[in-house]
Amino acid sequence: METGVISTAADLPLDARVRLIYDGVDLVLKTYAPELLVLEDLYSEYRFPRTALLMAHARGVICLAARQREVTVLALAPAEVKRAIAANGAASKAQIQTGVQRLLGLAAAPRPSHIADALALALTGFSRRGGRLR
Amino acid sequence: METGVISTAADLPLDARVRLIYDGVDLVLKTYAPELLVLEDLYSEYRFPRTALLMAHARGVICLAARQREVTVLALAPAEVKRAIAANGAASKAQIQTGVQRLLGLAAAPRPSHIADALALALTGFSRRGGRLR
């Protein structure tokens, strides 16, 4: 299992940030040639509209990279992922970390929580495609 | 002067739509090699959050295409553009169409209004970079 985070400096212009995200995702897709890319659905209502809009820019270039490499994109609602991993659509970040740790038999909970969230998405996508979560 | 609209079918999956937009914009940038690409700033508060989020996906891949072709991106607030074109930060679509028609000496107002909006952005960007609007 490989995990990672693509980070960009908040003070870079948006076009530079989306390019870094695109290049990072494209490299992952090129390296691992996955069958599936799982993304979190954007809520239609956000408490932080500015954050949601920034995330949607990133999401746009991630979808583009997937499409260009012919990788299927699956978008899952956060509540759906929480139910699959922690049997509770309103599970906390800590519950997701514990659930992911248990399902993958990891010695420690994945940190930062972004990585647990990504693994939770991947596991739920795997399960949707017929894989079995223990 | 060349104008155009890149359209995608609403029933296509998001990854297919962003790819069409990216390919369309990339072709324009490759063909015309502009110095500047002007985009409308996204409002931080929208009446239609779902539309704003979809637009942000498109905006992400447009910024990416610009960055990859080393074209400077300038984002302008709608009110700023309206002031530059129609001397009124709350100008109507019709006023923008008339303003663009007058500034460019066109025989008719540009239609659809998307094209007038794009020309208004381009003219305002041109003016910001030291160009002179009549």
Q: What's the Cα-to-Cα distance from B29 to each of A63, B79, B126, rounded to whole Å?
A: 21, 26, 17
Window B:71-100, CB contacts with A under 8 Å: 73, 75
Distance, in angstroms, between A13 CA and closest chain B CA? 9
- Closest Cα partner for A58 from A34, A75, A37, A39? A39
Neighbours of A125 (CB within 10 A): 23
Q: Are the CB atoms for B67 and A16 separated by under 8 Å?
A: yes
Cα separation, A27 vs B97, whole angstroms: 44
> Chain-wide mean pLDDT for chain A?
93
Q: Are the CB atoms for A68 and B19 separated by under 8 Å?
A: yes
- Closest Cα partner for A20 from B55, B33, B60, B35? B60
Distance, in angstroms, between B134 CA and closest chain A CA? 31
pLDDT band at B49 (very low <50, low <70, confident <90, very high): confident
pLDDT band at B131 (very low <50, low <70, confident <90, very high): confident
Distance, in angstroms, between A36 CA and closest chain B CA? 13
Distance, in angstroms, between A30 CA and closest chain B CA? 17
Residues A28-37: what's their mean pLDDT? 97
> Strands A72-76, B36-40: parallel, antiparallel or unpaired by DSSP?
unpaired
Give the model's pLDDT for residue A77. 93
pLDDT above 70: percentage of residues in chain A:
95
Is A63–B18 a contact, with Cβ atoms under 8 angstroms apart? yes
pLDDT band at A113 (very low <50, low <70, confident <90, very high): confident
Cα separation, B51 vs B32, whole angstroms: 29
Question: Cβ neighbours of residue A91 under 8 Å, at least 6 residues apart?
Answer: A82, A83, A85, A99
Name the residue type at position B44.
Answer: S
Q: Answer whether A66 touches B (CB < 8 Å).
A: yes
- Tokens representing residue A17 in the block: 């940030």
Q: Are the CB atoms for B65 and B22 separated by under 8 Å?
A: yes
On the question of pLDDT at B51 being above 80, the answer is yes
> Chain-wide mean pLDDT for chain B?
93
Residues B92-103: what's their mean pLDDT? 95
Give the model's pLDDT for residue B133. 81
Q: Answer whether B39 touches A (CB < 8 Å).
A: no
Q: Answer whether B46 touches A (CB < 8 Å).
A: yes
* Contacting residues of B for A52, CB less than 8 Å apart: 49, 53, 56
Q: Are the CB atoms for A61 and A21 separated by under 8 Å?
A: yes
Query: Chain B: residue nearest A14 by CA?
Result: B63
Q: Is A40 helix (H, G, I), strand (E, B) or coil?
A: strand
- Tokens representing residue A76 in the block: 């899952």
Burial B62-94 (b: 16+ CB within 10 A, else e): bbbbbbeeebebbbbebebbbebbbeeeebeee
ipTM of the complex: 0.89
pLDDT in tens, A43-86: 655 666 778 889 999 999 999 999 999 999 999 999 999 999 99
pLDDT above 90: percentage of residues in chain A:
81
Q: Is A77 helix (H, G, I), strand (E, B) or coil?
A: coil
On the question of pLDDT at B42 being above 90, the answer is no
Cα separation, B104 vs B123, whole angstroms: 9
